Amino acid sequence: MLSPDSRAVAMDLLKPPPGYRIDRTVLTTYSLDLEVLLALPLAVLAQTDAGVEQLLLDPLMLLEAIREAGERIQIFVDEAGIAVPANGRALYGALESSVHPVKAPNGGVFHPKVWVARFVHDNEPPLIRVSVASRNLTFDRSWDIALTSEATPGKKTIAASKPLSDLLRRLPGLGDETLEDAVIADIQHLADEVQRTAFPAPEGFDSGLGFYVLGLGKQRAHWSPVEQATRILAIAPFLSDKALQKIARLASNESLLVSRADQLSQLETDLANDWSVVQVLSPTADVEAEDESRLRPSGLHAKLMVFEWGHRATWFIGSANLTDAAFTGRNVELMASASGPKGRPGGKGIGINLFMESGFQSLCEDYQPAEYAPEEESAQEAATKLKQAREALLGAELRVSCRPAEDDWQMAVQGGIALPQGVTLTAWPLSLEGHQAKEWQDGVSWYLPIARLTAFIAFSIAVDGHDERLDLAIKLPVEGMPEERIHHVLRTLIDSPERFMQFLRALLGGLEEIAGLIGDSSGQTWNFAGGQGLRGEPLLEDMLRAASRDPQRLLPVRRLIADLRQSEEGRKIVPDDLYVVWQVVDSVLNDMEAQ
């Protein structure tokens, strides 16, 4: 179980085992916070334990980490799941190649939370790690649950792993975006290896992991995790009457339900008829966010079902709530399962009693029914209009177009949106702050420097006469985006010779050494004329070594230096004596490219 203050979980799930390095990973999530994603490449690939907030203080190092990680991390998120960040950042543009909005084929939401990572070792076969969780890629302060397993691919197909493999194969086709051939090939290769991997269950279970994917085929009457059980424990934040009844009826003896009071109070069914025990989290278990300036979801968010029969128990962990949308396949969901001996009090096992007595029971209290107070009619109408406007926005064929203007670039968002009457829509690029939003009138445009161009557009939907609003960010197709845009993002962050040398150090040392630069306040300066500065070794020697071993690493340097040397200001950042050193390295790169 993941407590609300487990901030490092995402980083831990992707940290390589000793001696390994991360090769590629695929992440799926219902909702996505881009600030989390900014920190993830550096925290994982550089293997630093610095906090997210600290990592965000050094965007230069982040950008280089993102550059190196871009081909290794692919995130698939529900088309409406990208949250509007608190701050506008040009750096968000560097994430676009890794973020892929997708849709649920049956009209629900794309809801799985599974991470699949491939680690490689110079002298060992690859290692595949899978993490199935209820936590999204966000800063949520909720009680969640995660299950992690890793193993080496074999030669034979593992039937229990095939559903997870099938999900990976389907991901590139679930969105409107056309992914690069190399990205698709990497995902397919990862799917092939997953299909040949037998993932072991955690300690206490004696089965391997099995996977269940809902929502990729036709909708079904109702998914039943098991045929029958004597006892059931079901934990989920969101509920529906029909799904609850069907799950409860699988138990011949006792059924326990843990959910949220606000969800329980809205049910029409009589819970006492179906569930022996109904509980909610105690108020003392709800940890308040440290950052009161930004509201973060909290409370119960874990999704878990435990079924007992005889002396055994089977667990199901993943993304599915106890709702019809999840269990009939309207949503895309993924659940992992494992079985083992349920055990006896005071002993070992994976049964319901042992789980509750291990600490979870102390977080819960009996649910006290309260009369549900439905929203006033005007509030219901406003909520309906917000939903209609959201669907119209997601269904509109919007595009971003970029074209050079006199001093800057004109970036326009164009397309028709059939908004309900009485609804106001505003939009702004995520590279800008929200106060620079403009009201939608058959399109909207801004004049921006090249570094601020982006495919991520924020939208805010408001209903006239009501305070409620709905904010979401969408990654839109782009026409005319200049190829050098990310290079200009980089240039805005390198404004001194010292920062340029930091950038070189990151490139030459690799991500494993970037972590040491975080929070470096030594104020060290660099002696360009001597060609020194990188760990006391000659700068020329370091760059020549990089050119011979990994020439791709120095290509950003070539582009950046060429751009900087075109202006007087840039020549102060890359002075003549450093440029002489670079010309030697550049000639080596040219010779290698000619071979």
Q: Are 129 and 150 in contact (CB under 8 A)?
A: yes
Q: What pLDDT does residue 501 have?
A: 75
**Where does the pLDDT of residue 589 fall: very low under 50, low under 70, confident under 90, or very high at 90 and above?**
confident
> Helices 555-564 and 485-493 meet at what angle, rounded to 10?
70
pLDDT tens, position by position, 29-40: 999 998 888 767
Average pLDDT of 200-219? 94
Q: What is the mean pLDDT of residues 446-473?
A: 94
Burial of 10 (0-12, 13-18, 19+ CB in 10 A): buried
Q: What is the mean pLDDT of the chain?
A: 84
Pairwise pLDDT comparison (589 vs 182), residue with the higher score = 182
The lowest-confidence range among 163-167, 469-473, 500-504 is 500-504
Question: For 555-575, what is each residue's pLDDT tens digit?
Answer: 767 877 887 787 787 788 888
CATH number of 394-481: 2.60.40
Q: Please give the residue that has the higher pLDDT: either 237 or 586.
A: 237
Phi, psi torsion values for 255, nearest 5 degrees? -135, 135
Rounded mean pLDDT, 196-215: 96
What confidence category does residue 535 fall into, taking pLDDT thresholds of 50, 70 and 90? very low
Backbone Cα Rg of the chain: 26
> How far from 280 is each of 236, 248, 274, CA to CA, in Å?
10, 17, 17
Q: How far apart are CA 317 and CA 146, in angstroms?
A: 7
Q: Tell me, what's the pLDDT at 286? A: 66
Residue 331 has pLDDT above 80, yes or no: yes
Write out the H or E segment, with its range, that includes residue 570: helix 568-573
pLDDT computed for residue 485 by the predictor? 86
Query: What was the pLDDT predicted at 44?
Result: 56
Residues 477-501, mean pLDDT to the nearest whole number: 81
Greater confidence (11 vs 524) lies with: 11
Residue 560: the pLDDT is 74
Q: What are phi and psi of 387, to 5 degrees?
A: -65, -45
Report, as an integer, the average pLDDT of 157-175. Answer: 97
Rank 14-18, 194-198, 517-521, 579-583 by mean pLDDT and report only the highest: 194-198
User: Residue range 356-364: average pLDDT?
Assistant: 91
Higher pLDDT, 577 or 414: 414
The answer to whether the 229-366 and 394-481 domains have the same CATH topology is: no
- Model confidence at 521: pLDDT above 50: no
CB contact at 8 A, 524 and 497: no
Give the C-alpha distances (Å, rounded to integers) separating 31 from 77, 78, 376, 393. 6, 7, 29, 17
C-alpha distance across the termini of the chain, in Å: 55
Architecture of domain 229-366 in CATH? 2-Layer Sandwich (3.30)
Q: Looking at domain 9-214, does it have CATH number 3.30.870.10?
A: yes
| Residue that wins the pLDDT comparison between 174 and 56 | 174
How much of the chain, in percent, has pLDDT values that exceed 70?
83
Under 8 Å CB-to-CB from 70, ≥6 apart: which residues?
94, 97, 98
Alpha-carbon distance 439 to 425, whole Å?
Answer: 6
Distance CA 429, CA 8 (A): 29
Which pLDDT score, from 0 to 100, does residue 511 have?
40
Burial label for 102, CB within 10 Å (0-12, 13-18, 19+), is buried
Question: At 64, is the pLDDT very low, low, confident or very high (cuts 50, 70, 90)?
Answer: low
Tokens of 507: 């490139």
Please calculate the CA angle 224-343-239 and round it to the nearest 5 degrees.
Answer: 30
Mean pLDDT calculated for residue range 286-292: 50
464 or 525, higher pLDDT? 464
**Confidence tier at 242 by pLDDT (50, 70, 90):** very high
**Best mean pLDDT range from 248-252, 284-288, 367-371:** 248-252
Q: Does the pLDDT value for residue 161 go beyond 90?
A: yes
What per-residue confidence (pLDDT) applies to 525? Answer: 38
pLDDT, residue 537, reads 44
Gap between the Cα atoms of 585 and 588, Å rounded? 5
Instruction: Encode burial over 332-368: b for 16+ CB neighbours within 10 A, e otherwise.
Output: bbbbbbbbbbbbeeeeebbbbbbbbeeebeebbeebe
What is the token pair recorded at 24?
């590629």
pLDDT value of position 538: 58
Q: Which two tokens stand for residue 391?
A: 């669907």
Q: In this structure, are residues 42 and 65 in contact, taking their beta carbons and an 8 Å threshold?
A: yes
The confidence score (pLDDT) of residue 454 equals: 96
Does residue 296 have a pLDDT over 70? no
| pLDDT value of position 592 | 75
Q: DSSP secondary-structure letter at 202?
A: P
pLDDT score at 28: 97
Give the mean model confidence (pLDDT) for residues 375-393: 88
The 3-state DSSP class for residue 458 equals: strand
Domain boundaries, the chain: 9-214, 229-366, 394-481, 494-594
Distance, in Å, from the CA atom of 58 to the CA atom of 51, rounded to the nearest integer, reads: 12
The answer to whether residues 399 and 478 touch, using CB atoms and an 8 Å cutoff, is yes
Lowest mean pLDDT among 192-206, 423-437, 496-510: 496-510
CB atoms within 10 A of CB 165: 23
Full-model pTM: 0.85
**So what's the pLDDT on residue 236?**
97
pLDDT at residue 518 greater than cutoff 50: no
Decide if pLDDT at 52 tops 60.
Answer: no
Burial bucket for residue 182 (CB in 10 Å: 0-12, 13-18, 19+): exposed
